Structure formats: structure tokens, C-alpha cells
Structure 1
Amino acid sequence: MTATARIPIGNEGLKGTAHCFSPVSFARLQSIMYRKPAEKGAILFWEGDPADNLIFVRSGRVRITKTAENGRHITLYLLQSGDLYGQPDPSGRPVHAFNAEVLEPGEIGVIRWSDLEVLLWQHGDFAIEFVKWMGLMHRLTQTKFRDLMMYGKAGALCSLLIRLCNSNGVPDADGTLISLKISHAELADMIGATRECVNRMLSKFRKEHVVLVKDGHLVVRNLDYLRGVCQCENCPKEICRM
């Protein structure tokens, strides 16, 4: 990953997973970031690459995926503006366990681990907030695996739709419209299912007036139905998100 100009210090962007940081700590984090354009389709890193950087999504959208044995990619995260992502590893030789692909063009901030370690040593309050961010990312991963393992494909799809409503939902006359246009194949990649399986489940949901499609966007009409299928635990929105 090639670094370019340093990002100027500022308080903008305190949303997404970066909300764990106070404005002062976030300004410190921005002081060691390097700005990098992100073009659609670009691969920021592959599984097995050295994990010597964190990335902060300033604009655009980045997909974090895992490659299955059959070569298929399973989507674990959809990073948006304000999201910080990295893989802390105490082994001293960390490598990426996932792939990162740019879905929408934008800009990312690159943070070198060596620079970050200096901040952690210098500022105890920043170190505590960084641990909170690590805990948030760990819980995000835990809840997604819980959905996949405990409630089957239908439960995982219901949970996914709830997460999309929290991350990209806007009020609509018919319910909550998911502003992100997403195909059935992409939904399938997010829950480890086939496109045909997702087609069948969404068809059932449409017949039961749980969801509808409007101008290519999914509209969730009955969130309570979805919560019942996946036995929703009413996690806060910073956890129940993509």
C-alpha cells in the first residue's frame, strides 16, 4: 500500500467505528494517517499479505471478505465513511486473514502500525480508546458468526436485513428503505448461502409482506418479524451494523 500526503488534523469523521475515539484522540490518529485514493475494484490487501497498516475509510465503501475452500468469497464487513479497520496481532508478524476490495471509489487513510505504537506509548487515554475500538470490532465479528451458526440461513438473512436497515436505512412510506442497492448474489455472499436460497427466502418474505422491492431497493416493512426469526437481542446500533 503506497502512502502519499499526510492527512491534516481535524475532528471530522467521528462516526462509524471511529466513534470510539474522542475528538482529541481522533485528531492524534489523523496526524499519522496518509491519504490514499481508492478506485473501484482496487484490492487494498489480500489474505496472507503483511498486516502492517490499518485503514480508515474517509469516503467510499470497502468490502472485507474471506475466501472459502471452494474459492468463493464470503463478505464479513462493508466498511463505509468513518470506519477504521485493522488486525492487531501480538505475534509480531501479523498477516491479513481477509481480503479488502473497494466497492465505491473514495479515499482512505493509511496508518502504519509503527506510528500507531508510538501514540499508544505516549497517550494512555488514546490507548484505552483504542482497546475499546478493538473490543467493538471483536463483538461485531462475534455477533455475525452467532447469526450464521445458531439461526440458520433464514435467521442470518433476517439479521442481515436488520443490520442493513441500521447502516443504510432511511424512512419510507412503506417502512425502512435500504438506500444501498444490493443484489441477491451479494446478500448470499454475506450469509454464506447461494443466490437461489436467498431468492426463495426473499420471495417468502414478500408474500408475507415483510419486505418489498422499490426501484431496485429493498424496503423492510416488518422489522418485528425479522427480529423474531433471528431472536434479535436488541444490540446497540454500533454493534448491529454491517
Structure 2
Amino acid sequence: MNEKDLTFIYKKAFSIKAEAGSFLFFQGDPAENLFFLVKGHIRLFSLTPEGQQVLMHVVTPGNFFAIVALVPSSAYPVSAEVTQESILLKWNRDAIEEILKIVPAISLQAMRLMAERLQEYQQRFKEIATQRVERRLARMLIRLAAQSGVKTSEGIVINLPLTRQDLAEMVGTTLYTVSRFLSQWESRGIIFSSREKIIIKNSHLLMCIAEDLPEHGS
């Protein structure tokens, strides 16, 4: 987009600060606002009919979310929990409608982002249905590293506020199972995990697990 369009879009936004532990919206609420995360982390999760919580996505700075708000009369399919003090830009329904009229390219970009997210969810559901837990967990770590990993001298740092329970929800297994595999991988020098971050120390071995390949093969 050109600078004029970007300036117009930015001026229509409200800047807000959200405290850790607060919620921006809940699953089933009318989708009235579009968000862009400037600083912090947002946790998107859904509840099954049985009341089980499933972590769908972790939003990192520099990303839009709640894009479904661009669709009139829609509802949020997930809840958005603030996990760290965050600064966001928010566009309400009136601003969204005005932006879509003036900058129609936004619609195309939104469709692309929604398609990417849908593809990611479909891939995760396919993995849950067809793959062993170990492979699913390895693939999830690789996916998170691609989205927000930072290369350091120690390895690839996934600096997200993710608990082992969060990882269990994302790959469709139990906390015990995730803890067991992470501990095994840590003892083998594949990863290092703590409450604050996960470091992928040997991405080759993790990729072998994810793709079910011989670890010493070509």
C-alpha cells in the first residue's frame, strides 16, 4: 500500500493498552473490532462443547488478528486473552466500513491472511488425526520457530509465553505426554526448555522427528 493509504488506515485506529490477564473479546461475541498487536502477546483459544480449552494461536507483535471483523454480522470464533501487558491498535465497525470503501486492497489482504490461518488449522487437525504425538509436537515447535523464532548463538529461541499445557492443547494431547517428550529431547540436546522460552539447539534432529526420518541418514 502507498503511504497515503497507510496513513488513512492508521488515523482511523484507536491505540489501547491491555493488562495481562484481561480479555479483548470472547468466543461467540459479535465481531465488532479488528486488532493489530504493537507490543505484548495475545492468546487465542476456543472452547469445545464439553468445555475443554484449545489453544489455537499465539499472536506476536506486528500481526493483525480478529480479521473476521471484516465480515459483516460475524462472530468471533475464539476468545482473546492478554498474556503480557500489550499495546494494540483497534478499528471499530464504523472505521472498518470506511476503510474498506477507501482502500479495497484491505479485503484481498484479509482474505489471504484468513486463508493462511485456515490452512494452518486444517494441517493441525490432519496431524492430530494421522500422526504420532511426538511428530505433532516436533512439527508445532518448528512452526512456532518459523513464526517467531530468533537465531542466537544458543540456537533458535522461541520466545513466547507458552506453558507445557499450552503446547499440549495445540497438539491435542496431555500435559504429561508433552512434558515427557520435552524432557527426552532436552536430555539429548535437541532443545532447552524453561517457563519463559524454548530453544531449539539441534534443528536437524528435531526436523528428523517431525518428518519421521532416520536421524543419521542422508
TM-score by length of 1: 0.74
Amino acid at match of 1:130: A
Q: Is 1:43 aligned to residue 61 of structure 2?
A: no
Pick from 65, 69, 89 the counterpart of residue 109 of structure 1.
89
Structure 1 CA distance, aligned partners of 2:148 and 2:68?
28
SS in 2 for 1:88: helix
Q: Is the 8 A contact 1:36 1:107 kept in 2?
A: yes
Query: How far apart, CA to CA, are the structure 2 residues paired with 1:85 and 1:22?
Result: 22
CA–CA separation in structure 2 for the residues paired with 1:97 and 1:60: 22
Question: What is the root-mean-square deviation in Å for CA atoms of aligned residues?
Answer: 2.8
Where does residue 76 of structure 1 map in the other structure? Answer: 56
**Partner secondary structure for residue 211 of structure 2:** coil
Note the C-alpha offset of 1:28.
3.1
Distance 1:125 1:185, change over 3 A: closer
Query: For 2:68, what is the secondary structure of its paired residue?
Result: coil
Distance (Å, rounded) in 1 between the aligned partners of 2:18 and 2:185: 36
The aligned amino acid for 2:33 is N
> How many angstroms does 1:97 deviate by?
1.4
1:187 equivalent in structure 2: 167
Q: In structure 2, what is the equivalent of residue 86 of structure 1?
A: 66
Higher mean displacement: 146-155 or 109-118: 146-155
Change (3 A) 1:40 1:171: same
Amino acid at match of 1:188: A
| Structure 1 alignment gaps of length 5 or more | 1-20, 233-242
Q: How does 1:64-213 map to 2 (within 5 A)?
A: 64-88=44-68, 92-213=72-193
| C-alpha distance in 2 between matches for 1:91 and 1:214 | 40
Structure 1 residues 143 and 23, CA gap change in structure 2 (3 angstroms): farther
Residue 63 (str. 1) matches residue 36 (str. 2): no
After superposition, what is the alpha-carbon deviation per residue over 1:177-227, rounded to whole angstroms, capped at 9, x for unaligned? 333353322221222221101011112222433223479642212222332
- Report what 1:239 is aligned to: none
Distance 1:22 1:192 in 2: 42
Segment drifting more, 161-170 vs 195-204 = 161-170
Which residues of 2 match residues 20-39 of structure 1 at below 5 A?
A: 24-39=4-19
Structure 1 pair 151–90 and aligned structure 2 pair: CA distance change class (3 A): same
Taking the aligned partners of 2:113 and 2:5, their CA distance within structure 1 comes to 12
Q: CA deviation at 1:36?
A: 1.7
Name the amino acid aligned to 1:170: V
Residues 1:122 and 1:215: Cα distance change in structure 2 (over 3 Å): closer
Q: How has the CA–CA distance of structure 1 residues 204 and 100 changed in structure 2, closer, same or farther, with 3 Å as cutoff?
A: same
Identity in percent:
21
Q: Identify if the C-alpha distance between structure 1 residues 172 and 57 changes in structure 2 by more than 3 Å, giving closer, same or farther.
A: closer
Aligned residues: 212
**Counterpart Cα distance in 2 of 1:108 and 1:49:** 19
* In structure 2, C-alpha distance between the alignment counterparts of 1:139 and 1:88, rounded to whole Å: 15
Which range moves more in the overlay, 209-218 or 63-72? 209-218
CA distance in 2, matches of 1:136, 1:171: 24
**TM-score, normalised on structure 2?**
0.82
- Which residue type is aligned with residue 44 of structure 2? I
SS in 1 for 2:165: helix
Equivalent residue letter for 2:144: L
Partner amino acid, structure 1, of 2:164: H
Q: Measure the CA separation in 1 of the matches of 2:4 and 2:81.
A: 30
CA distance in 2, matches of 1:215, 1:64: 19
